[in-house]
Amino acid sequence: MSRVSVPPPTCLQKPLRVPHRYMFGPGPSNVPPRILWAGASPVIGHMHPEIFEIMSDIKSGIQYMFQTHNNVTLAVSGTGHTAMECAIFNAVETGDSVLTAVNGIWGERAAEMAERIGARVNTIVAPPGGYFSNAEIEKALSKYRPVLFFLAHGESSTGVLHPLDGIGQLCHKYNCLFLVDSVASLGGAPLYMDQQGLIDILYTGSQKVLNAPPGTAPISFSERACQKIFNRKTKPVSFFLDLSWLANYWGCDGKPSRLYHHTGPVTAFYSLRESLALLVEESLERSWERHQKVAEYFSAGLESIGLKLFVKEKNVRLPTVTTIVAPHGYDWKEITAYIMKTHNLEISGGLGPSVGLVLRVGLMGYNSSTANVDMVLAAIKDALKHCHKSKV
């Protein structure tokens, strides 16, 4: 007779308490009530026809959001990193050459992932706040002849929006797949997967501009990408992320029946579907414009209180995540802690290569408004007043 020897935890005998807080960091962002409400819908089966219909809605929404006609378009169960791994594990086989552009943390992570599955990884590096010219990219493509080139469109660790024109063409020229991470940028900055970008694999996350809870990651694969992926010599290392299975689950492979692969996160599907509906209502163009205006308003406000923007060039500034040079005479950790404590507002410090150098403020989707900018500026001003270190 077994005895339950681990007692029931008392912490779970208290009600769940979650504070209301302004999520103005680089993500996740606040979830608007309508999307939260959608997530409260009753749970039904992950292979029920109604769910398939919702998934089909989601797929159309993603095609709109990505501006693509790609058939293999779906939402991976997981967050941004899951999509990154899905892309890499499917497109890359052991021994393949991979090139990643590292101008912040995301390129570094992609390189790490590719390394783990046995690819030969090369990187081109730019300092935080910098980006790559097409000439530099071409040089590297020509030198390393990779099968996959990774680039972060919205490099949220440094606040850089990478220009995309011409890069897709270069990748085509060198017979290489073009993988773009737009987790922090999609919906906030213009991106055309098929036309402008000639992007082969594009992914984003649900918890940024879409304002859905973290849990799904829209991703899309072009014909070229599918060619390589579905003609692999070896199976992908991950069963969970195997595209042939995922494509079947999402109805992208044209097969009449869907096989059970994994249990899709149905609640997350509801929220994602609703967040896409909101985007469709506003329209991409208006969303882009709104983010741009708010970002400019914010930058002007920051400069008027004596702070400097980390990214010098205006046209490569990411409108969704603004990086501010950590001011002289302050400990940035004290600033963020003070603002959290006093104003109930989250802003963050640097990440990866930008740790200690910047403060980061994310105004995404529903959060991107001039009213919020005013709130953040007031909080920062207050912190500047209170947090100045005195010299011993």
Q: Considering the complex, what minimum distance in angstroms separates the CB of residue 176 from other proteins?
A: 20
User: What's the CA gap between 27 and 156, in Å, rounded?
Assistant: 9
- Per CB under 8 A, does 130 bind other proteins? yes
Q: Is 360 labelled a binding residue? A: yes
- Per CB under 8 A, does 391 bind other proteins? yes
Q: Which stretch, 23-31, 120-128, 192-200, 279-287, contacts other proteins (CB under 8 A)?
A: 120-128
- Per CB under 8 A, does 43 bind other proteins? no
Contact 102, 111 (CB under 8 A): yes
Q: Considering the complex, what minimum distance in angstroms separates the CB of residue 322 from other proteins?
A: 18
Among 33, 328, 341, 371, binds other proteins (CB under 8 A): 328
Q: Considering the complex, what minimum distance in angstroms separates the CB of residue 157 from other proteins?
A: 10
Among 61, 80, 128, 218, binds other proteins (CB under 8 A): 128
β-bridge pairing 201-203 and 177-181: parallel
Among 118, 173, 356, 374, binds other proteins (CB under 8 A): 356
Among 2, 13, 257, 390, binds other proteins (CB under 8 A): 390
User: What's the CA gap between 211 and 279, in Å, rounded?
Assistant: 10
Long-range CB contacts (within 8 A, 24+) of 56-60: 56/251, 57/273, 57/276, 58/218, 58/269, 58/272, 58/273, 58/276, 59/250, 59/251, 59/252
User: What's the CA gap between 340 and 20, in Å, rounded?
Assistant: 12
User: What's the CA gap between 345 and 355, in Å, rounded?
Assistant: 20
- Per CB under 8 A, does 353 bind other proteins? yes
Beta-strand ranges (E) seen in the chain are: 22-23, 72-77, 97-102, 120-125, 148-152, 154-155, 160-161, 177-181, 201-203, 216-221, 321-325, 345-346, 348-349, 358-362
Among 280, 300, 305, 337, binds other proteins (CB under 8 A): 305
- Per CB under 8 A, does 329 bind other proteins? yes
Count of residues binding other proteins (CB under 8 A)? Answer: 34
Among 108, 138, 155, 242, binds other proteins (CB under 8 A): 108
- Per CB under 8 A, does 125 bind other proteins? yes
Q: Considering the complex, what minimum distance in angstroms separates the CB of residue 342 from other proteins?
A: 13
Cβ-based nearer residue to other proteins, 216 or 322: 322
Q: Considering the complex, what minimum distance in angstroms separates the CB of residue 381 from other proteins?
A: 7
Q: Which stretch, 272-280, 315-323, 337-345, 352-360, contacts other proteins (CB under 8 A)?
A: 352-360
Beta-strand ranges (E) seen in 156-229 are: 160-161, 177-181, 201-203, 216-221
Residue 346 to residues 22, 209, 360, 379, Cα–Cα distance (Å) = 6, 16, 10, 10
Cβ-based nearer residue to other proteins, 131 or 270: 131
Cβ-based nearer residue to other proteins, 45 or 329: 329
Q: How many residues are listed for the chain in this entry? A: 392
Cβ-based nearer residue to other proteins, 107 or 213: 107
Contact 32, 364 (CB under 8 A): no
Contact 153, 185 (CB under 8 A): yes
Paired residues of 152 in beta bridges? 181
Among 20, 233, 341, 385, binds other proteins (CB under 8 A): 385
Residue 38 to residues 42, 107, 263, 312, Cα–Cα distance (Å) = 9, 34, 19, 41
- Binding-site residue set for substrate: 360
**Footprint of other proteins (CB under 8 A):** 102, 105, 108, 124-130, 304-306, 312, 326-329, 331, 352-357, 381, 384-386, 388-392
- Binding-site residue set: 360
